[in-house]
Amino acid sequence: MELDALHDSRDHRDLEPSAQHQSTQPGSEADMNPRPQYIDPGYKSALKLQGKVGLITGGDSGIGRAIAVHFAAEGANVVINYLSDNEHEDAQKTLSLIESYGGKGISIQGDISDESFCRTLVEKTVGTFGKLDILINNAAQQYPQETIEDIAQEQLEHTFKTNLFSMFYLVKEALKYLPEGGRIINTASVTAYKGNKGLLDYSSTKGAVVSFTRSLSQQLAERGILVNAVAPGPIWTPLIPASFPADKVKDFGTETLLKRPGQPSEVAPAYVFLASNDASYITGQIIHPNGGTIING
């Protein structure tokens, strides 16, 4: 198995982001300093997803890459989706990691805010691997603004189409193939619960993701499909330097009880758990890897 000794052998508690900024979203993991840890070197696979096929949006980097690597380590084959050309290097790196951890993978570039592409994404997944067992709705974008007056209609529509509408599109298509025992896992956020004054539209989409998860779980329970979500706190991913100015990036995550941002490697095991038979009696629930924020609701 390949390991990047530079960043995968470090203790995740040593994470201290340097001041940095990237000019385009969703950002590039290859340009981050330090690079995120996608799997803990001490992680032990139990092949909990042996023979499964997972589709992960935003799977090229950050939390998505970590999920993909963990799924491969647990025996799954993985399809990763990514948005733009500047993420191609990250996507290729993730594919090589999937293979080094024993899985097979393909990457599919495209915009999940487009319903027709979502249909194509699911069809290519099934066309390649013959089935779909796990849908991970992970991709999202955020554009900080100081006040609601600063949020233009174009930004508002784009944020909702990417972060929320895409989940409707992908689930509708995936339900043609998901079997009894299939899993849908959505990425929410701590901002859904505590809010964020500078991320009003983003936080609103994540609140909707929580309600979407709980409502969809009620619809699909009779079909034996389990629907859950993960609501991360401040996690060190490319979206952070691509969203915030360099001085804020340097202090990212220090407001948590643990006084640091989390690594993607500390979030991905929650997706493994929800995708595995260990979570066979769990649906409509949210897991909170957030560094100690107490959540009510």
Cα angle 59-238-82, degrees, rounded to a multiple of 5: 30
Is 143 designated active site? Answer: no
Domain assignment present for 16: no
Domain assignment present for 31: no
Cα–Cα distance measured from residue 231 to residue 106, given in angstroms and rounded to the nearest whole number: 26
Domain assignment present for 179: yes
Averaged pLDDT for residues 26-32: 78
pLDDT at res. 1: 37
| Domain at 165, CATH number | 3.40.50.720
User: Does 117 have pLDDT greater than 70?
Assistant: yes
Global pTM value:
0.92
Say if CB 240 and CB 202 are below 8 A apart.
no
Domain assignment present for 296: no
Cα–Cα distance measured from residue 102 to residue 9, given in angstroms and rounded to the nearest whole number: 20
Domain assignment present for 158: yes
Q: What is the pLDDT of residues 146-165, one digit of tens each?
A: 999 999 999 999 999 999 99
Q: Among 177, 202, 271, 281, which one carries the catalytic annotation?
A: 202
Say if CB 64 and CB 80 are below 8 A apart.
yes
Alpha carbon separation from 168 to 216, 230, 254, 282 (Å, rounded): 10, 17, 34, 21
Q: What is the pLDDT of residues 184-233, one digit of tens each?
A: 999 999 999 999 999 999 999 999 999 999 999 999 999 999 999 999 99
Checking phi first, is residue 78 left (phi over 0); if not, alpha (psi -120 to 50) or beta?
Answer: beta
Domain assignment present for 70: yes
Domain assignment present for 4: no
Domain assignment present for 82: yes
The residue segments making up the domain with residue 101 are 46-287
Number of folded domains in the chain? 1
